Chains A and B, each alone.
Chain A
Amino acid sequence: MTNNVICQTRDLVENSGVCALINNEQVALFYLPNTEQKIFAVGNWDPFGKANVMSRGLIGSIGDELVVFSPLYKQRFSLATGQCLDEDAALPTYNVAIENDDVVLVS
Chain B
Amino acid sequence: MVGHHYVETLVKSDINADITIIGGETRPAYDRVHLSEVFDGKGPEDLAMGSREQYEEWGVDAHFGDFAKTIDRDNQKVITEGGQAFAYDKLVLATGSYPFIPPIPGHDQEHCLAYRTIDDLAEIKASAKGKKIGVVVGGGLLGLECANALKNLGLEAHVVEFAPGLMGVQLDDGGSEMLRRKIEALGVNVHTSKATQKIVKGDELRLKMEFADETELETDMIVFSAGIRPYDQLARDADLKVGERGGIEIDYQCKTSDENIFAIGECAVLGNFIYGLVAPGYRMAEAAVSQLSEDRTSFTGADMSTKLKLLGVDVGSVGDAKGQAEDSRAFIYSDERNDVYKRLNVSSDGKKVLGATLVGDTEDYDTLLQYYLNDMELPDSPENLILPASDGEKPALGADALPMGATICSCLNVSKGDVVEAIDGGCLTVADVKGCTKAGSGCGGCAALLKNVVDAELNSRGLEVNTDLCEHFSHTRQELFTIAQASQIQTFDELIEKHGHGKGCDICKPAVASIMASLWNDHVLESDLVPLQDTNDTFMANMQKDGTYSVVPRVPGGEILPDQLIVLGEVAKKYNLYSKITGGQRVDLFGARMNDLPNIWGELIDAGFETGHAYAKALRTVKSCVGSTWCRYGVQDSVGQAIDLENRYKGLRAPHKFKMGVSGCTRECAEAQSKDIGVIATENGWNLYVCGNGGMKPRHADLFATDLDTETLYKYIDRVLMFYVRTADRLQRTSTWLENLEGGLDYLKEVVIEDKLGICADLEKQMQHVIDTYQCEWKTAINNTEKLKRFRQFVNSEQEDSNVLFVEERGQIRPATETEKQRPELKAVV
Contact = CB atoms under 8 A, between A and B. Distances in A.
B535 A57 contact: yes
B58 interface: no
A25 to B, nearest CB: 11
Interface string B462-482: 000000000110000000000
A7 B801 CA distance: 18
Contact of B795 (A11, A52, A71, A72): A11
B533 A58 contact: yes
Contacts of B545: 49, 51, 72
Contacts of A83: none
A20 interface: yes
A72 B790 contact: no
B547 A60 contact: no
B471 A62 contact: yes
Instruction: Name the 9 nearest CB pairs between A and B, nearest first.
Output: A15-B531, A60-B505, A61-B503, A71-B535, A51-B547, A11-B795, A69-B506, A21-B797, A61-B502
B527 interface: yes
- B contact residues, range: 35 or more
A56 B597 CA distance: 15
A49 B804 CA distance: 13
Contacts, number: 96
A66 B504 CA distance: 10
B538 A60 contact: no
A73 B250 CA distance: 61
B795 A60 contact: no
Contacts of A18: 790, 792, 795
A94 B693 CA distance: 46
A14 B538 CA distance: 13
23 contacts: A7-B796, A13-B530, A13-B531, A16-B530, A16-B531, A18-B790, A18-B792, A21-B797, A52-B801, A52-B803, A52-B804, A53-B547, A56-B547, A57-B535, A58-B505, A58-B509, A58-B531, A60-B472, A60-B502, A60-B508, A60-B509, A71-B535, A74-B506
Given A6-B795, A15-B531, A29-B795, 4 more contacts: A20-B795, A53-B535, A58-B532, A62-B505
Contacts of A91: none
A56 B504 contact: no
Nearest to A49: B545
A13 B789 CA distance: 9
A99 to B, nearest CB: 16
A59 interface: yes
B535 A66 contact: no
A18 B535 CA distance: 12
Nearest to B527: A14
A58 B535 contact: yes
Interface string B508-520: 1110000000000
Interface centre among B471, B790, B796 (most CB of A within 10 A): B796
A26 interface: yes
Given A14-B531, A16-B531, A60 B504 contact: yes
A16 B505 CA distance: 12
A42 interface: no
Interface in B556-570: none
Interface of A: 6-7, 11-16, 18-21, 26, 29, 45, 49-53, 56-63, 66-67, 69, 71-72, 74
Contact of B505 (A19, A51, A69): A69
Question: Do most interface residues of chain B lie in helix, strand or loop, or is the interface mixed?
Answer: loop
Nearest to A58: B506
Contact of B506 (A12, A13, A45, A60): A60
A56 B535 contact: yes
Contact of A56 (B527, B543, B797, B804): B543
A61 B502 CA distance: 6
Contacts of B460: none
Interface string B654-698: 000000000000000000000000000000000000000000000
A1 B539 CA distance: 38
B803 A51 contact: yes
A105 to B, nearest CB: 11
Interface in B486-533: 502-506, 508-510, 527, 530-533
Contacts of A63: 471, 502
Contacts of A7: 795-796
A11 B791 CA distance: 11
A49 B818 CA distance: 11
Contact of A61 (B505, B531, B538): B505
Contacts of A14: 527, 530-531
Nearest to A18: B795
Contacts of B535: 53, 56-58, 71
A7 B527 CA distance: 20
Contact of A21 (B503, B546, B799, B804): B799
A12 to B, nearest CB: 8
A32 B803 CA distance: 28
Contacts of B790: 13, 18
B437 to A, nearest CB: 33
B747 interface: no
Nearest to B798: A21
Contacts of B503: 59-61, 66
Contacts of B502: 60-61, 63
A56 B793 CA distance: 10
B523 to A, nearest CB: 15
A50 B803 CA distance: 9
B506 A20 contact: no
Interface in B806-826: 818
B86 interface: no
Nearest to A74: B506
Contact of A19 (B543, B789, B793): B793
B453 to A, nearest CB: 36
A51 B530 CA distance: 22
A6 to B, nearest CB: 6
A63 B504 CA distance: 10
Contacts of A58: 505-506, 509-510, 531-535
A71 B534 contact: yes
B794 interface: yes
Given A56-B543, A58-B535, A59-B531, A6 B506 contact: no
B791 to A, nearest CB: 11
Given A61-B502, A61-B505, A21 B794 contact: yes
Nearest to B507: A60
A67 to B, nearest CB: 8
Contacts of B793: 19
A20 B546 contact: no
A60 to B, nearest CB: 4
Contacts of A15: 530-531
